[in-house]
Amino acid sequence: MPPNPSVATLRARFGASVGRSAVILGDTIVFAAADQAHEIFTWLRDDAGERYDYLVDVTAVEYRDRELPLEVVYQLRSLPRNVDLRVKIELRKDAELVVDSVVDLWPGANWLEREVYDMFGVRFRGHPDLRRLLMWETYDEGYPLRKDFPLRGRFSRSEQVRRALAADLRAHYSLEELSIAEAYAALPADVRARLAAERGRETAGEGLG
């Protein structure tokens, strides 16, 4: 199967920001530089010849080979042209894992990016509400789909039980909910401080991940 012509036009327009490309089992894959990715996605969505208007999926892949970079994978589709394109961004694992959010281009990316953050610890710059999605907000064991995360979790079962019993149930309400309830201000000061600290650690990514 010939490669998707979008790769050639991408390369003509963005030059070195577009990395290698491949056709695997009929799917065209193209690598984009992290700092140019948002511009590339905007162009892919809006250009009259491309029109990738549908974001099928956002996910990430970490390989078993620790030397290989982590990949953030975007599966795009142009509904008018019925063409699929897979765009990947490589992130070196020794640097900060951060890419630009595409929620402003495709609102459907909101939860997809939250899940990637939750499971891999990749941060999406400009995301309106980057919180954990499947795990709870105070989850402290790291990022479950990373290869260095053991299958049974980082904490022993007894430690998990101990933490569950010691947890403050109020912490299960996110700051957002507490604030719309206007109950946040009414909370005891120590609870507020602890919630803010946990929230801060979440966003600063200093969990065990």
Partner 1 sequence: MAEQRVLELALATPGVDAAGRPVRIPLTVESPGAGEPDLRTDHMLINIGPQHPATHGVLRLVVELDGEVVVRVIPHIGYLHSGFEKLGEYRQYNQIIPLTDRTDYLSAPANNVAFALAAEKLMGIEITERCKVLRVIACELSRIISHLVWAGTTAIDIGAFTVFLWMFEQRERVYNLIEAWTGARLTTSLTRIGGLMADVPDGWTERLREWCRAFPKTLEEVDRMLLRNGIWLGRTQDVGVMTAAEAIAYSLSGPMLRASGVAFDVRKDQPYLGYETYDFEVPVGQHGDVYDRYLVRMEEMRQSVRILLQALDRLPDGPINASDPRVILPSKRKAMSNMESMIYHFKQVMEGVPAPAGEVYFPVENPKGELGTYLVSDGTAKPVRWRIRPPSFLNIAALPKMAEGHLLSDLIAINASVDIVMGEIDR
Tokens of 205: 């990514």
Distance in angstroms (rounded) separating the CA atoms of residues 125 and 199 = 17
Residue 55 makes contact with partner 1 by CB under 8 A: yes
Q: Cα separation of 191 and 137, whole Å?
A: 15
Residue 137 CB, shortest distance to partner 1, in Å, is: 10
From 197, 195, 143, 141, select the one nearest 164 (Cα to Cα): 141
Looking at residue 117, its amino acid is Y
Told to check if 16 binds partner 1 by CB under 8 A, we report no
Residue 173: exposure state from Cβ atoms within 10 A (0-12, 13-18, ≥19): middle
73 binds partner 1 (CB under 8 A): yes
CB 118 within 8 A of CB 129: no
Closer CB to partner 1, 9 or 59, in the complex: 59
Task: Work out the burial of residue 192: count CB atoms within 10 Å of its CB; fewer than 13 is exposed, 13-18 middle, 19 or more buried.
Answer: middle
Residue 176 touches partner 1, criterion: CB under 8 A: yes
Asked if residue 84 binds partner 1 (CB under 8 A), the reply is: yes
Q: Which amino acid is at 163?
A: R
User: Of 57 and 168, which has the nearer Cβ to partner 1?
Assistant: 57
Taking CB under 8 A as the rule, does residue 24 contact partner 1?
yes
Q: Does 155 participate in binding partner 1 (rule CB under 8 A)? A: no
Cβ proximity to partner 1, 12 vs 67, nearer residue: 67
Give the x/- contact pattern for partner 1 in 106-145, rule: CB under 8 A.
xxxxxxx------x-------------xxxx-------xx
Ramachandran category for residue 51: left, alpha or beta (phi over 0 → left; psi -120 to 50 → alpha): left
Nearest distance, CB of residue 126 and partner 1, angstroms = 17
Find the part of the chain contacting partner 1 (CB under 8 A) among 10-18, 155-163, 175-183, 186-194.
Answer: 175-183
Which two tokens mark 87?
């765009």
Amino acid at 58: V
Which residue's CB is nearer to partner 1, number 43 or number 173?
173
Rule CB under 8 A: say whether 59 interacts with partner 1: yes
List residues near partner 1 by CB under 8 A. 24-25, 27, 29, 53-57, 59, 61-65, 73, 75, 79, 82, 84, 86, 106-112, 119, 133-136, 144-145, 149, 151, 174, 176-177, 180-181, 183
